[in-house]
Chain A
């Protein structure tokens, strides 16, 4: 019988391998993970920054320079999230613009992550159904 410690050790063996950032540097990647986690809690566990970084590396998710400028602004200023969010419709600073950029990318990536789909959206689709039930409830 496996005891709890064996189980944890085995799980670690099969856990997803550590990701080495490709578009951002390791320091930028770590800062971005922290920033994105504040915007969308759960992002870190869902490895959202890995999706974003890979996208950036393949040139499909925006440009690396904007992320680097934004992260530099964030490490210099550490403005409260409430303030960034308050100005998100009319961003005027580098950091406010970065808030919008990181938020858009994070939402997209989180929705595609396993955790985002299952735990956030409660999605159980992508399966073969015999028939599609449609709406089976009555609403006023």
Chain B
């Protein structure tokens, strides 16, 4: 029997691949979604909710093995090589990818951010709106030009020390600094009936995995919707190891997968969407040097990077600290910095994610001097009154940051591991020093004192965000300098499309996933339109 040729194969079921599969199915195409991991069931395979104490007892009883209590326990290890300033790379192989453990921060990029893209904000805005409705995004309307408001469910208020930071930020503005202090926006419904998922119950475990599936994941929203169309075939525990090209060498014919039992199979398609995540998509293409006439695959790699400054606000001493769980640690954002008045010392800008509160599972402050009752009192007081400020800076795109293949190390299927090169540039260090000054000033202006601060940024004390990598296959209009066109279609291979953040040609300070979803949705619509025109 001749093998079925599916209209589209999508590789990777994270936020990028999940939305692409849904949109393509909804438009009448027959789609195969290939995912290396298995389906994890909230509440059965991860169960971080409930009392931190009972949860800890469960982990102890199980010898820190199964039943696991955090979805992050499933993250991959030894799956890449790092060169330079301690690069890290997060990967969760499961239906839904890292959307299972993301915090859900959902921010639109603004018109200023798209100035460096070959498409404008207005082109993406309708997809942002659709994505927000589907995802159930909660937040407040802040009226900021470069952090546009979306279609929000009711926002979640700040904790006391965060409000003090807000006062500090207002005074920064009084000193003619561009700055705004806003509540974070999350893909978590705060109002029942708005989306067909449970309403958040504010237990604060979002990144350990939402046991009640309130937080948006691609496993709980677009993939079930795609399955309901009857046009989606799921290939779980199936790893794509090779892209199979047609005999003419110009078009994709399918992919080779390795299944859980080790068996290899070839799946056929009219078009292929890669959404394996920024690093893995580049890796797959580099192993065969496909779609790379520009030589740009793996280049233009960027992420966010940061450090942490902690302040204490004695004014809030004595507040009710009995339940600070909220919707995880970060409830607020210091933003708006250098959007218009560019820094002379560094390129780009940063935002600062701010959090507060007493969380027994992850005490923010774990040390105070001394011993005895005074130590206990001091530690409690510091945790109750603290606010943490975590920098999320734009990492300068430069020749010092890229992905290539490890010449020696391979995975279990014989595919070379990706190798991530990260060497901070002077501009990065200068930005981090500016963050330290700004955070310390915000704390003081808010009436607090600086509890801990790196004081000075160095290549050693900066921390890369292992989950925010973008840009290894950038979008552009010139095929000599970019990998995909403005529809996320390969310049070289007309039936190859990219559905993840590898296509970002520039990266602002904002979290990537909403834009990843919006772009992938847009790509899928353009792809389906081509299919309807018989161009596949």
Which residues of A does B touch, CB under 8 Å? 38-42, 51, 54-55, 58, 60, 81, 84-85, 88-89, 103-104, 107-108, 111-114, 116-117, 120-137, 139-140
Whether B366 lies near A107 (C-beta < 8 A) is yes
B interface majority secondary structure? loop
Whether B157 lies near A112 (C-beta < 8 A) is no
B240 within 8 A of A: no
> What B residues does A89 contact at CB under 8 A?
369
B145 within 8 A of A: no
Whether A121 lies near B383 (C-beta < 8 A) is yes
> What A residues does B156 contact at CB under 8 A?
132, 134
> What A residues does B51 contact at CB under 8 A?
114, 117, 126
The residue in chain A whose Cβ has the minimal distance to the Cβ of B356 is: A135
B425 within 8 A of A: no
Whether A114 lies near B53 (C-beta < 8 A) is yes
Complex CA gap A67/B396 in Å reads 44
Whether A132 lies near B327 (C-beta < 8 A) is yes
B144 within 8 A of A: no
Most central of B320, B323, B366 by chain A CB within 10 Å: B323
Whether B376 lies near A42 (C-beta < 8 A) is yes
Complex CA gap A88/B371 in Å reads 11
B315 within 8 A of A: yes
Complex CA gap A90/B201 in Å reads 45
Complex CA gap A90/B63 in Å reads 34
A122-B321, A128-B203, A135-B157 are known contacts. Are A58 and B63 too (CB-CB below 8 A)?
A: yes
Q: How far is the CB of B389 from chain A (nearest CB, A)?
A: 17
- Number of A-B pairs, beta carbon distance below 8 Å: 133
Complex CA gap A72/B372 in Å reads 22
Whether A41 lies near B158 (C-beta < 8 A) is no
Complex CA gap A25/B257 in Å reads 51
A-B contact pairs, 29 of them (CB 8 A): A38-B372, A39-B371, A39-B372, A40-B371, A40-B375, A55-B60, A84-B371, A103-B371, A104-B367, A107-B366, A107-B379, A111-B360, A111-B363, A112-B52, A112-B53, A117-B53, A117-B360, A122-B321, A122-B358, A123-B52, A123-B360, A125-B204, A125-B322, A125-B323, A125-B325, A126-B52, A129-B202, A134-B157, A137-B320
Q: How far is the CB of A89 from chain B (nearest CB, A)?
A: 8
Most central of B56, B190, B327 by chain A CB within 10 Å: B56
Whether B56 lies near A133 (C-beta < 8 A) is no
The residue in chain A whose Cβ has the minimal distance to the Cβ of B62 is: A58
> What A residues does B325 contact at CB under 8 A?
125-126, 129, 132
